[in-house]
Amino acid sequence: MSENEYGRLIYLGLLGAAIVAYFIADNRQSLGKNVRTAIVWGLLFLGLVAGYGLWEGVRSDILPRQTLTSSGQIEVPRGFGGHFHLVLQLNGEPVEFIVDTGASDVVLSRQDAQRVGIDLGSLTYLGRASTANGEVRTAPTRIETVELGNITDRNLRVVVNEGEMEGSLLGMTYLRRFESLEIRGDRLILTR
């Protein structure tokens, strides 16, 4: 730990001690009940911290990822919310997409666009898109390299959404590069 982190730890310890001292002084009459309540809250807090620390491992069970089959197909299991989620490498950075066959374009959120190296300040928002939340402006741009398993594409046209998005959408400008797109039960199968 750095000196800065030790300082923060000491500060939080002193703050916690002050809160506990106030709690004890203010609740002397019902101290036993309040100690039990404090223990329950402490255990809830520890559970949240442990859950946060284990999230990445649990996430793969809740939101399973795509696999490359021996025949070269990409199989994508249906996610927890009923959507198909695909992770592509854009300019070497992993970006999680919701597969949206109803979207014409690949639509990047501003956060994902910035993470893959797109300069948001240089974008010109000329396009418009109708969404469930109304009309938003979009800016066309290109991604140099797109990788999905052993498949590499270059110079993919994408649009950056000026509005708020929870995630990016993988639309038909990318999906039509596949020979077939098929849904079998709870699996999306992409064949090139």
Task: Tell me the residue type at 92.
Answer: G
pLDDT of residue 87: 93
pLDDT of residue 144: 95
Residues of the chain with pLDDT under 50: none
- For residue 188, the SS3 value is strand
Residue 169, strand partner residues: 98, 107
- The model's pLDDT over 111-166, given as tens digits with 9 standing for 90+, comes to 999 999 999 999 999 988 877 777 889 999 999 999 998 889 999 999 999 888 88
**pTM confidence score:** 0.64
pLDDT of residue 112: 95
DSSP 8-state code for residue 105: S
pLDDT of residue 128: 87
What is the secondary structure of 37-88 as a DSSP string? HHHHHHHHHHHHHHHHHHHHHHHHHHS---EE-TTS-EEEEB-TTS-BEEEE
